[in-house]
Structure 1
């Protein structure tokens, strides 16, 4: 009897938090779904009318939509490749005992604490600028013409900036996994004559598999919503060369004042993000079994 009473009290105590969470999630989602069926433009709010499925049809038949989907996939996969491979390498380097190891680790993870717009401005004006950026100075020192990164390689430039921000996160997670590797197993492999590459491929990498799946899952969810770096650096251009799905929705809402179209794009983005998250969760579940 006491157990039932305790369980009932526990449920009652959890109810306010659950209700608040549902309201926090469902109200914005419900309003977005409602506006997605309206012909609602901020320049003419009095002319709002029922649009039905028109906003959805217009959004996914827009050529920029499919280009933004492709750019989103390239952006996510590019950043994941750099951060996972680079994170493994950096984690293995700073795992070794070196002078000032604590300071080195702090410096390695420091980019993760820089706000995305600030990081984008630093890369745009101090590193990748074709006239007075660091890369331009290096190019002139080597006797070659500086590259206008955001005009010639806009999406690749965005990938580099975002990867620079997320590399410390991947390094931190992978370093934690690496430090949990039993040193006795490594010593036993060395005694059996296994070389450095064999120990890495057959011992270190399988041990880090779970950490890698966690990095991929968390980063993918956040990378689907990247837009601040694009807004600050390229504005989605040239043309739609660096426009991802999130920035396309932003452009519809804030630049074209099309609330209905942006809401429809938001619902489409939520559906696609949930599909991606479902596949990733299944992959992670299989890896953790």
Structure 2
């Protein structure tokens, strides 16, 4: 049983880590608030000064503001739906005892280690390029005109690229939760005559609820700050068709 002295010793040992973590979090937050009220030009420091509420006024009155909010919500919602649905399907697939399961898992998680600007450049130049891309070659081979992904479907293209980047994360979280499910429950349900869809709906899916919640929370935090993929591909265009709040 913990005594008062042992609790004090535990707090003392934990204190350095807590202090470092607090500083690591509070300093960027304080600087963000500070620069939000200032005019800051990196290349023209002599023009820096106090802005007051002018930055917020410009931001809220900008014609792209509501478009950026809509695009941000579309980006977050679209990526969450794609990664969760495909993540569950892929997790169910690679959880099966098949040959080559180890290399298959490595292949599935490999996109997560690619830097966002690099991943965006790969998709834009190797796959979605209107002249030299793989999709253009397939379209022209079938007798169709190549699709101008970045011009005609900019937001959908960004959502697709970001989903490809975050799908491994969702798959890993969901696979870990899936492997913690007792096989005896599924076997008992199967022996009782429950079809595969019912076993998934009433046993597997409720078991994955917490994992899905974790995926939603963590991905939402990072998706609200997506910048590199948009800057590398559409640069917020055409016009403001793919402009999000971080890109404004």
- Identify whether the pair has TM-score above 0.5, normalized to the shorter chain: yes
Unaligned runs of 5+ in 2: none
Q: By percentage of residues, which structure has more helix?
A: 1
Partner of 2:102: 102
Once residues 212 and 159 of structure 1 are traced to their aligned partners in structure 2, the CA distance between those partners, rounded to angstroms, is: 19
SS in 2 for 1:70: helix
Larger RCO, structures 1/2 (Cα 8 Å, 6+ apart): 1
- What is the aligned-residue RMSD (CA, Å)? 1.9
- Structure 1 residues 191 and 41, CA gap change in structure 2 (3 angstroms): same
CA–CA separation in structure 2 for the residues paired with 1:191 and 1:3: 51
Question: Aligned partners of 2:208 and 2:40: how far apart in 1?
Answer: 50
| Equivalent residue, structure 2, for 1:208 | 208
* Residue 246, structure 1, aligned to residue 243, structure 2: no
| CA deviation after TM superposition for structure 1 residue 49, in Å | 4.2
* Equivalent in the alignment of 1:254: none
Shift of 1:141: 2.2
State the match for 2:167 in structure 1. Answer: 167
The range that moved more, 123-132 or 196-205, is 196-205
Give the superposition deviation at 1:54: 1.9
In structure 1, what is the Cα distance between the partners aligned to 2:141 and 2:44?
55
Counterpart check, 1:187 vs 2:184: no
Cα 1:190–1:139 shift into 2, 3 Å: same
Measure how far apart 1:4 and its partner are.
3.8
Q: For 1:193-213, what per-residue CA distance to the aligned partner results, in whole angstroms no more than 9, with x for missing partners?
A: 211211111111111111111
Which has the higher mean CA deviation after the structures are superposed, 184-193 or 126-135? 184-193
Q: Judge which range, 40-49 or 203-212, deviates more.
A: 40-49
| Stretch moving more, 167-176 or 32-41 | 32-41
Partner of 2:241: helix, strand, or coil? coil
Q: Structure 1 pair 18/173, CA: closer, same or farther in 2 (3 Å)?
A: closer
- Provide the C-alpha distance between the structure 2 equivalents of 1:177 and 1:19, rounded to a whole number of angstroms: 32
Separation in 1 of the partners of 2:151 and 2:114? Answer: 25
Using a 3 Å threshold, how does the CA distance of structure 1 residues 190 and 226 change in structure 2: closer, same or farther? same
The alignment covers a number of residue pairs equal to 247
**C-alpha displacement at 1:189, in angstroms?**
1.4
* Distance 1:89-1:54 versus aligned 2 partners, 3 A rule: same
Unaligned runs of 5+ in 1: 249-289
Compared CA separation, residues 148 and 16, structure 1 to 2 (3 A): same
* Partner residue in 2 for 1:278: none
> How far is the alpha carbon of 1:183 from its aligned partner?
1.6
1:26 corresponding residue in structure 2 = 26
Helix, strand or coil at the partner of 1:63: coil
1:115-194 alignment runs, 5 A limit = 115-194=115-194
Instruction: Compute the TM-score of the two structures, normalised by the length of structure 2.
Output: 0.92
After TM superposition, list the pairs within 5 Å mapping 1:17-56 onto structure 2.
17-42=17-42, 45-56=45-56
After TM superposition, give the deviation of residue 156 of structure 1 in Å. Answer: 0.5
| Structure 1 CA distance for aligned equivalents of residues 169 and 47 of structure 2 | 47
